[in-house]
Amino acid sequence: MLKVGQIEQVRITDYTAEGEGVCRVEGCVVFVPGAIRGELCRIRITHVGRTNAHGEIREILEPSPHRCAAECPDAARCGGCKFWHMDYEAECALKAGRVRDALQRLGGVELNALSILGGDAVERRFSWDDSNEGCTESGSAAPLLHYRNKAQFPVQQKKDRVTAGFFRERTHDVIPIRSCLIQDAAADQAREIVLQWAKKYNVSAYDEKTHTGLLRHIYVRKGFASGQVMVCLVVNGPSLPREDALVERLRWGIRALQSVVLCDNRAVGNVVLSDRFRTLFGTPEIEDTLCGLRFRLSPRSFYQVNHDQAERLYEKAIRSAGLTGNETVIDLYCGTGTITLIMARQAGRVIGVEIIPQAIEDAKENARRNGIENAEFICADASQAAAQLAAAQIRPDILCVDPPRKGLTPEVIDAIAEMAPQRVVYVSCDPATLARDVKRLSAHGYTLTAAEAVDMFPKTAHVETVCCLYHQKKDFISVPYEPKNVE
């Protein structure tokens, strides 16, 4: 039986879904953060649970050739990034492996190798032993740093000052940061300006334990193509003291400032935004260009955080849809209509479904802004809308889904089976739920014909996947179906 404090020499053989190293000691699985596959380490057991244990590296006896020194000064304290200790080649291998394992173990799909499109625009193909079967440079090298177009900094009182940064992993303790290497510089600028203003005018930080204090979050969004910046202050109340001075400082400090909004969120809990917004400066939203279309972005609307990789992801999704110009497409979980409108240019009719009313308003406006007339948008829960569309005899040729991490509900799967599109394009941010849904769809006659990972979030443990599933039988239905036993 393992004990806390025990020192062991171990070989790292695998990774968890979060990218922690995995080894075995006395038959027990031990997770070792910061360890790379293949490394020989001396570890100290820090926690022993019923089915597994945790350990910390004491010494690396045989370091991996992929090990590198952290560039980020806050890497050890901040829980946001996971992979400052390895090079990008190893990070891509790990992410491709995670998608491939999930599809094989949970999805029942045989895959010899899987490609991942890196944030550097290089396509790498990894086989089971993590060997790289080859690279294809598919465009100009994109930066692996400063790629995020959205930041949400929680605000907290620390001793005598108001600070903002990121939560330490698995805590609500804010680590003040100097500069985040994956964020755009506008995020750091806005945060520092707001903190200086808060100090000058004695604006209090929100305290979640007592539900007192004003400033909860500093939320910054930037359109990478347009350059436009939005700063949103989330406040436990309807207004802030000296809003005029705040706007003046932000305008002075951020050249491309387009919008300053206040979000009045007096609710107890972790949800960052409410639906009460007031514009303090400029417009209530910003605009960005993606795949040649213009998109209006409200603070509440979802928008992919990595602009260049989003374009590449959508191009892959659209290519796997195989559009010829006449198809009917349903896009469930459509956000501001990004995928829907990009597909609309190559399809007959597209229908987008999304639950957030503001995002649907954006989607409709985005269709207008781009002169797209063959797109319809429905504000509803995807399960309900899918069931209703199926009941209304809508029979799309292609159905696209891009759900949140929890994946598709059984109702959505049933509705897909009823609508029987020839292709399902599945864009996923969680390999495990994707694999589960691939298995469920395969029970309805769908076969996975393509799967590819896209690294939207270098340095962090997240990975995006785009899959295409094909209904084989549909090809054989060449004559209209004639129901028997009709009276």
Q: Is 339 in the site for ligand SAH (CB under 6 A)?
A: yes
Tell which one of 334, 413, 432, 467 touches ligand SAH (CB under 6 A).
334
Tell which one of 338, 358, 428, 465 touches ligand SAH (CB under 6 A).
338
How far apart are CB 367 and ligand SAH at their closest, in Å? 14
Q: Is 387 in the site for ligand SAH (CB under 6 A)?
A: no
Q: Mind spelling out the 3-state secondary structure of 293-350?
A: EEEEECCCCCCCCEHHHHHHHHHHHHHHHCCCCCCEEEEECCCCCHHHHHHHCCCCEE
How far apart are CB 349 and ligand SAH at their closest, in Å? 18
Q: Which residues 10-49 are close enough to bind ligand SAH by CB under 6 A? A: none
Q: Is 74 in the site for ligand SAH (CB under 6 A)?
A: no
Q: Are 231 and 257 a contacting pair, CB within 8 Å?
A: yes
Q: What is the spatial distance between Cα 267 and Cα 351, in angstroms, rounded to a whole number?
A: 34
Residue 484 backbone dihedrals phi, psi, to 5 degrees? -85, 175
Q: Is 381 in the site for ligand SAH (CB under 6 A)?
A: yes
28 belongs to the catalytic site: no
Q: What is the spatial distance between Cα 463 and Cα 435, in angstroms, rounded to a whole number?
A: 13
Q: Is 404 in the site for ligand SAH (CB under 6 A)?
A: yes
In the structure encoding, which two tokens stand for residue 368, read together? 């207008």
- Mention every residue, 6+ apart, whose C-beta is less than 8 A from residue 459: 81, 82, 83, 84, 91, 144, 181, 182
* 16-24, 75-83, 334-342, 452-460 -> range binding ligand SAH (CB under 6 A): 334-342
How far apart are CB 83 and ligand SAH at their closest, in Å? 23
Q: Is 315 in the site for ligand SAH (CB under 6 A)?
A: no
Active-site residue identified among 400, 429, 467, 468: 429
How far apart are CB 78 and ligand SAH at their closest, in Å? 24
Between 149 and 338, CB nearer to ligand SAH? 338
How far apart are CB 311 and ligand SAH at their closest, in Å? 11
Tell which one of 402, 437, 452, 464 touches ligand SAH (CB under 6 A).
402
Q: Which residue in 258, 221, 259, 266 sits closest to 239, CA to CA?
A: 266
DSSP H helical ranges for 181-325? 185-200, 243-253, 307-321
Q: What is the spatial distance between Cα 166 and Cα 179, in angstroms, rounded to a whole number?
A: 11
Tell which one of 302, 377, 426, 446 touches ligand SAH (CB under 6 A).
302
> Shortest Cβ contact with ligand SAH: which residue?
335
Q: Is 434 in the site for ligand SAH (CB under 6 A)?
A: no
Q: Is 333 in the site for ligand SAH (CB under 6 A)?
A: yes
Q: Is 454 in the site for ligand SAH (CB under 6 A)?
A: no
How far apart are CB 410 and ligand SAH at their closest, in Å? 13
Between 311 and 354, CB nearer to ligand SAH? 354
DSSP 141: P
Task: Give CA separation, 479 vs 117, 390, 444, 474, 482, in Å.
Answer: 41, 21, 21, 11, 9
Residue 83 backbone dihedrals phi, psi, to 5 degrees? -120, 40
Q: Which residues 341-370 are close enough to bind ligand SAH by CB under 6 A? A: 353-356, 359
Q: Are 364 and 343 a contacting pair, CB within 8 Å?
A: no
Q: Is 277 in the site for ligand SAH (CB under 6 A)?
A: no
Total chain residues near ligand SAH (CB under 6 A) = 17
Packed helices 243-253 and 185-200: angle between N→C axes, nearest 10 degrees: 150
Residues with a known catalytic role = 429
Binding site for ligand SAH (CB under 6 A): 302-304, 333-335, 338-339, 353-356, 359, 381-382, 402, 404
